[in-house]
Amino acid sequence: MSTMAFLKRSPWILHYDASSCNGCDIEVLACLTPLYDVERFGIINTGNPKHADILLITGGINAQNREVVENIYEQIPEPKVVIAVGVCAATGGVFRECYNIVGGIDKVIPVDVYVPGCAARPEQIIDGVVTALSILEEKRGKMTGAARTKEEARHAEQAGEST
């Protein structure tokens, strides 16, 4: 509960299915629905990378989705945390010997939290997200000097564009 005690913000999650079997994906969605209901913590599933703090990916990397994953990751503003849900996202899992699977998500982008399981259970996914929150706070704290200036400049630039 230590993380929840100092949770000041509402982290938004972007969910992308890289090459999963769907099992983990429907469990991610199940987290949002009445039994688990992560929205009560202010955690919202968004479709827009620019709104997201946490990138939650299921399934491994293959030849075609590699660029999509990189693109989504690039679009999420700093600070950001990546969660790899399920064994496929960690290592390729049961599919690792398939000719079209390159491996886990960390082949393409840095991963902060690995959630095990095939399929990962909703409790495990929520646990992974809570772990990610403390990493997110840590990263936010470390964003000083150059990184913070850069991020602020980017915000200012975007604000300038929109007006």
Sites of contact with another protein (CB under 8 A): 15-30, 33-35, 46-49, 59-60, 62, 64-65, 68, 72, 94-95, 97-101, 118-119, 121
Nearest Cα to Cα of residue 79 among 3, 152, 129, 162: 152
- Name which of 15 and 80 has its Cβ closer to another protein: 15
- Name which of 2 and 64 has its Cβ closer to another protein: 64
Least CB distance from residue 71 to another protein, whole Å?
9
Least CB distance from residue 95 to another protein, whole Å?
5
Q: What does each C-alpha distance from 3 to 7, 93, 120, 131, 132 come to in angstroms? A: 6, 30, 21, 8, 10
Least CB distance from residue 17 to another protein, whole Å?
5
Structure tokens given for 116: 């095990």
Contacts of 120 (CB under 8 A, 6+ apart): 24, 27, 85, 86, 128
- Name which of 34 and 145 has its Cβ closer to another protein: 34
